[in-house]
Chains A and B, each alone.
Chain A
């Protein structure tokens, strides 16, 4: 566990700082596991180990089982999002216009596939169904910026510019 994580160790339990105390209202309600995990992910961009223990205390489900649930659903992350969230569109138009190849280029450039985050914590790559700007296909969005009419060269250039911007 990284030291920068918002947790505090007290004895054999881990306490999470800044975690929404209101959540204790779910105490003893196993059914509220999913909303709690979503809340943790919203607050921290991922689900920290400490949150698993904390939520385990609240709902009374053991950590191993919660970990099982997290790894079952693709919506949950166990690592922080990268600084830049790169979402590559896989809608019909983009698909027809070569989004698969673009995905491959990104994978070659960054060394990670969809759903992963680079070692340096810079990029997280996700694939989305349609970004709603089909006229620009193939398209990717990095944080708030849309990049359209992609080709391999363009992708390399864009990624470089983010990398050098730091």
Chain B
């Protein structure tokens, strides 16, 4: 540690700390114009100058590390004079159009000019006169206001890794721009806007909407993906005006993706449901809550008494809060008497459950911010820049700052390869064979962590036995990856100080997800990359509360907190507390529910927030199944494709209109806070569940989300210490958190595994059934811009990407004589779609990619429910 004094105040900080941070620790604020804690110090603006006692000259505080015994002065007349001069130099070319500038009120230049009283300027020069960029989506560039601090260029490079913008020209003509000054065409994450200290880069949606101090700002959690970024939502007069990230809060530390920052427009979409709807003679008519709930209750009661609870089923979206998900399963199980409940198609959570088998907990092992400190990262079948952009930034930080090695295992040439040391391009579905091959290489070369294996794991013999079949030659043949590269990747991972494996889940096969997660778990156990910081396995859920849905027992066989439904004493524990009885029989999963519906066995289906018609595989079969249900209730923000088939539609609140908690991909329970009231008659899902239950004659729980969490924490030991008062902090709490004084668990298995030892569970690679008639492999998945149906209701996002497409590799395109943007028909056994081509090197030869959004022309029109690899035919129109 280093001790120094700053303006007479003594501070002790770790070596390498910059004077600026040390001063902050001493409570002294030094002005800055080119510094952000998210960036490497740059030293461009020189307003942060300070003086070392006994030395002449000034030095930038952001750029100079502390030394023992230093005496730093931050506020002498010399310093103030120097800062004033710097400000005057900046003001030579600055337009000072503050009254019409959106940064007004939160502009760091304006604030400093005010603070230092710079009212005159003895320097004269021309004002900058550059054209404003009115064209780029989401971001307005008015470079006349630019002070060339370089923060936008640096964040786009250091954190985002997109390098869209750069310094151009030199001297007086220097400016920020793209190559050939074209409009921006990038990730539109808006990080550049968020760091710009002045009004040079602006959020286009926020232009001239409000002064910052006129808005109410609410800290909440993003409603899109499992990263769980903290959003600061600015509202005024009942409308969202701006969303930004706050660098002192959340796992994202200010970083957001295009969906989180700019994808909120759906909240104010005119298509939002504002009243319950009841179908009469084939068309919907508006109804009151009493009528709608009355009808739902009447019909569900009838079904229950005629056919029993097992004729009722429920599908619920992992977008809901923990409190809602918990209440939903309580309502379905206890009040309506059915265990046929599921979420996210039932195929998105095989990976965490697999980790539960091998390691103990059904979740990521470590914390998201540890990824940036790892030195080897395997992105296993994870197109992170599309699925979890903020996790991609963690990877970028690791690679760029710590020279970490990124190993990409994918069947496409994904964008992430820009940063990878190894691009292991596998044949579709052969990831497991590759991991097995890596483990075999590790064993052969004696790189396994013997001590860890012998003291903390069991089942190594069975693993060794099964790996015998995975010689480098064979794995090379199975995966198509050269042995030299995967063996070298294996060595790297085995020798890493911190080795991390990232697996994003969602649109993949259940069987494959389980195998993939088990293979990853075997690899980390073999190499001891688990139970320590900066290592482990991450299961990155597709939706904002994918983890919570599992924790809250939204599955046919698990009660909240992974209590086994089949175990009478576990069941009893819940029954006693609820004063309800729970059916003994394990329920059906989502796809079985649809199957049963098709066979006429499901009379009542209650869907909350899910849109199976778009999100589940084999759309045409899903449609048949839904049509066969006697009574379909759908609760949603929009009249989704699924809702339009319903008899009753209940209008739900969006995530900014309710309170509760989400649990993100690193087991972090975080508080969701309302910034708005729901439109019209729309209500939070929790309210709806409680009203329904009340009308069914049972008080579900106390009305507030807080009270429901209090109920949860008494029944779910993992959440035992989760309390709203404790959640009111910038980072939430990570389960397991067993009691009020438990600090939460940043990484799991430090001392032991819940079952004592970590289990090796060998997995064999099975080649999918060889289908020969259809030549093309089809991969479906999310894209960076969209996530299910909500994002499609945001005009800004659909302007970026408004229609479905099929990505084709240029070599294939050449062979087929296909142009970019040409219409083609894709046909599988399940259906066909007509889409336009997008010729891209990101595809791989022989493999097509179609986004899974876009209802009638999305990938799910082609996929099958058996969820093995889909193959399709391609024809030109």
Cβ-based interface call for B218 (8 A): no
Tell me the smallest distance from the CB of A49 to a CB of chain B, in Å.
Answer: 7
> Residues 8-40 of chain A: 1 if any B CB is under 8 Å from the residue's CB, otherwise 0?
001111000000000000000000000000000
> Residues 49-86 of chain A: 1 if any B CB is under 8 Å from the residue's CB, otherwise 0?
10010000000001111111001100000100000000
Count the A-B residue pairs with Cβ separation under 8 angstroms: how many?
51
Expressed in whole angstroms, the Cα–Cα distance for A164 and B839 within the complex equals 47
Expressed in whole angstroms, the Cα–Cα distance for A67 and B814 within the complex equals 30
Expressed in whole angstroms, the Cα–Cα distance for A164 and B810 within the complex equals 47
Cβ-based interface call for B723 (8 A): no
Tell me the smallest distance from the CB of A46 to a CB of chain B, in Å.
Answer: 13
Cβ-based interface call for B55 (8 A): no
Quick one: which of B146-177 are within 8 Å of A by CB? 162-170, 177
* B168→A67 contact, CB < 8 A: yes
With a cutoff of 8 Å between Cβ atoms, the chain A residues found around residue B170 in the complex are 71-72
* A66→B179 contact, CB < 8 A: yes
* A11→B813 contact, CB < 8 A: yes
With a cutoff of 8 Å between Cβ atoms, the chain B residues found around residue A71 in the complex are 168-170
With a cutoff of 8 Å between Cβ atoms, the chain A residues found around residue B841 in the complex are 11-13
Can you name the residue of chain B whose Cβ is closest to the Cβ of A57? Answer: B841
Cβ-based interface call for B820 (8 A): yes
The one of A13, A49, A52, A64 in contact with B163, judged by C-beta atoms closer than 8 angstroms, is A64
Expressed in whole angstroms, the Cα–Cα distance for A52 and B813 within the complex equals 24
User: Which bracket fits the contact residues of B?
Assistant: 20 to 34
The one of B162, B178, B810, B820 in contact with A67, judged by C-beta atoms closer than 8 angstroms, is B178
* B164→A12 contact, CB < 8 A: no
Can you name the residue of chain A whose Cβ is closest to the Cβ of B418? Answer: A60
Interface of A is mostly: helix
* B839→A67 contact, CB < 8 A: no
Expressed in whole angstroms, the Cα–Cα distance for A67 and B170 within the complex equals 12
Cβ-based interface call for B840 (8 A): yes
> Residues 789-832 of chain B: 1 if any A CB is under 8 Å from the residue's CB, otherwise 0?
00000000000000000000110011000001000000000000
With a cutoff of 8 Å between Cβ atoms, the chain A residues found around residue B820 in the complex are 11
Tell me the smallest distance from the CB of B494 to a CB of chain A, in Å.
Answer: 25
Cβ-based interface call for B180 (8 A): yes
Quick one: which of B408-440 are within 8 Å of A by CB? none
* B813→A64 contact, CB < 8 A: no
With a cutoff of 8 Å between Cβ atoms, the chain B residues found around residue A78 in the complex are 180
Expressed in whole angstroms, the Cα–Cα distance for A67 and B840 within the complex equals 23
Expressed in whole angstroms, the Cα–Cα distance for A62 and B839 within the complex equals 21
* A65→B163 contact, CB < 8 A: yes
Can you name the residue of chain A whose Cβ is closest to the Cβ of B814? Answer: A10
Can you name the residue of chain B whose Cβ is closest to the Cβ of A9? Answer: B820
Expressed in whole angstroms, the Cα–Cα distance for A15 and B840 within the complex equals 13
Can you name the residue of chain B whose Cβ is closest to the Cβ of A61? Answer: B163
* B166→A64 contact, CB < 8 A: yes
The one of B164, B809, B839, B842 in contact with A64, judged by C-beta atoms closer than 8 angstroms, is B164
Tell me the smallest distance from the CB of A78 to a CB of chain B, in Å.
Answer: 8
Expressed in whole angstroms, the Cα–Cα distance for A67 and B177 within the complex equals 9
Tell me the smallest distance from the CB of A44 to a CB of chain B, in Å.
Answer: 16
With a cutoff of 8 Å between Cβ atoms, the chain A residues found around residue B164 in the complex are 62, 64
Tell me the smallest distance from the CB of B540 to a CB of chain A, in Å.
Answer: 26
With a cutoff of 8 Å between Cβ atoms, the chain A residues found around residue B179 in the complex are 49, 52, 63-64, 66-67
Tell me the smallest distance from the CB of A123 to a CB of chain B, in Å.
Answer: 23
With a cutoff of 8 Å between Cβ atoms, the chain B residues found around residue A67 in the complex are 166, 168, 177-180
With a cutoff of 8 Å between Cβ atoms, the chain A residues found around residue B168 in the complex are 67-68, 71-72
With a cutoff of 8 Å between Cβ atoms, the chain B residues found around residue A12 in the complex are 839-842
With a cutoff of 8 Å between Cβ atoms, the chain A residues found around residue B180 in the complex are 49, 67, 78
Max chain B C-beta neighbours (<10 A), residue from A11, A62, A66, A71 = A11
Expressed in whole angstroms, the Cα–Cα distance for A49 and B178 within the complex equals 13
Expressed in whole angstroms, the Cα–Cα distance for A78 and B181 within the complex equals 13
Expressed in whole angstroms, the Cα–Cα distance for A52 and B810 within the complex equals 20
Max chain B C-beta neighbours (<10 A), residue from A52, A71, A72 = A71
Expressed in whole angstroms, the Cα–Cα distance for A1 and B814 within the complex equals 22
* A11→B163 contact, CB < 8 A: no
* A11→B810 contact, CB < 8 A: yes
With a cutoff of 8 Å between Cβ atoms, the chain B residues found around residue A49 in the complex are 179-180
Quick one: which of B566-619 are within 8 Å of A by CB? none
Expressed in whole angstroms, the Cα–Cα distance for A65 and B150 within the complex equals 13
With a cutoff of 8 Å between Cβ atoms, the chain B residues found around residue A10 in the complex are 810, 814, 839
Expressed in whole angstroms, the Cα–Cα distance for A39 and B822 within the complex equals 37
With a cutoff of 8 Å between Cβ atoms, the chain B residues found around residue A72 in the complex are 167-170
With a cutoff of 8 Å between Cβ atoms, the chain B residues found around residue A13 in the complex are 810, 841
With a cutoff of 8 Å between Cβ atoms, the chain A residues found around residue B842 in the complex are 12
Can you name the residue of chain A whose Cβ is closest to the Cβ of B812? Answer: A11
* A62→B840 contact, CB < 8 A: no
Expressed in whole angstroms, the Cα–Cα distance for A47 and B595 within the complex equals 62
With a cutoff of 8 Å between Cβ atoms, the chain B residues found around residue A11 in the complex are 809-810, 813, 820, 839-841
Max chain A C-beta neighbours (<10 A), residue from B164, B165, B167 = B167
Do A64 and B169 contact each other (CB < 8 Å), given the known contacts A10-B810, A11-B839, A12-B841?
no
Expressed in whole angstroms, the Cα–Cα distance for A52 and B163 within the complex equals 14
With a cutoff of 8 Å between Cβ atoms, the chain A residues found around residue B839 in the complex are 10-12
Expressed in whole angstroms, the Cα–Cα distance for A11 and B819 within the complex equals 8
With a cutoff of 8 Å between Cβ atoms, the chain A residues found around residue B813 in the complex are 11
Tell me the smallest distance from the CB of A79 to a CB of chain B, in Å.
Answer: 11
Expressed in whole angstroms, the Cα–Cα distance for A68 and B165 within the complex equals 9
Can you name the residue of chain A whose Cβ is closest to the Cβ of B165? Answer: A64
Max chain B C-beta neighbours (<10 A), residue from A63, A67, A78 = A67
Expressed in whole angstroms, the Cα–Cα distance for A68 and B174 within the complex equals 9
Expressed in whole angstroms, the Cα–Cα distance for A68 and B162 within the complex equals 15
With a cutoff of 8 Å between Cβ atoms, the chain B residues found around residue A63 in the complex are 179
Tell me the smallest distance from the CB of B336 to a CB of chain A, in Å.
Answer: 51
Tell me the smallest distance from the CB of B822 to a CB of chain A, in Å.
Answer: 13
Expressed in whole angstroms, the Cα–Cα distance for A12 and B813 within the complex equals 12
Expressed in whole angstroms, the Cα–Cα distance for A129 and B526 within the complex equals 69
Expressed in whole angstroms, the Cα–Cα distance for A52 and B177 within the complex equals 15
> Residues 84-127 of chain A: 1 if any B CB is under 8 Å from the residue's CB, otherwise 0?
00000000000000000000000000000000000000000000
Expressed in whole angstroms, the Cα–Cα distance for A67 and B163 within the complex equals 12
Expressed in whole angstroms, the Cα–Cα distance for A52 and B178 within the complex equals 12
Can you name the residue of chain B whose Cβ is closest to the Cβ of A10? Answer: B810
Tell me the smallest distance from the CB of B192 to a CB of chain A, in Å.
Answer: 12
Tell me the smallest distance from the CB of B812 to a CB of chain A, in Å.
Answer: 10
With a cutoff of 8 Å between Cβ atoms, the chain B residues found around residue A64 in the complex are 163-166, 177-179
Could you pull out 10 A-B pairs where Cβ atoms are within 8 angstroms?
A10-B810, A12-B840, A12-B841, A64-B165, A64-B166, A64-B177, A65-B163, A67-B166, A68-B167, A71-B170
> Using a CB–CB distance below 8 Å, which chain B residues touch chain A?
162-170, 177-180, 809-810, 813-814, 820, 839-842
Known contacts A49-B179, A67-B177; can you find 10 more A-B pairs with CB under 8 A?
A: A11-B841, A12-B839, A13-B810, A52-B179, A66-B179, A67-B168, A67-B178, A68-B166, A71-B169, A72-B167
Per CB-CB distance, the 10 closest pairs between chain A and chain B, nearest first, are A62-B163, A67-B179, A68-B166, A11-B810, A11-B839, A64-B166, A63-B179, A10-B810, A65-B166, A71-B169
> Using a CB–CB distance below 8 Å, which chain A residues touch chain B?
10-13, 49, 52, 62-68, 71-72, 78
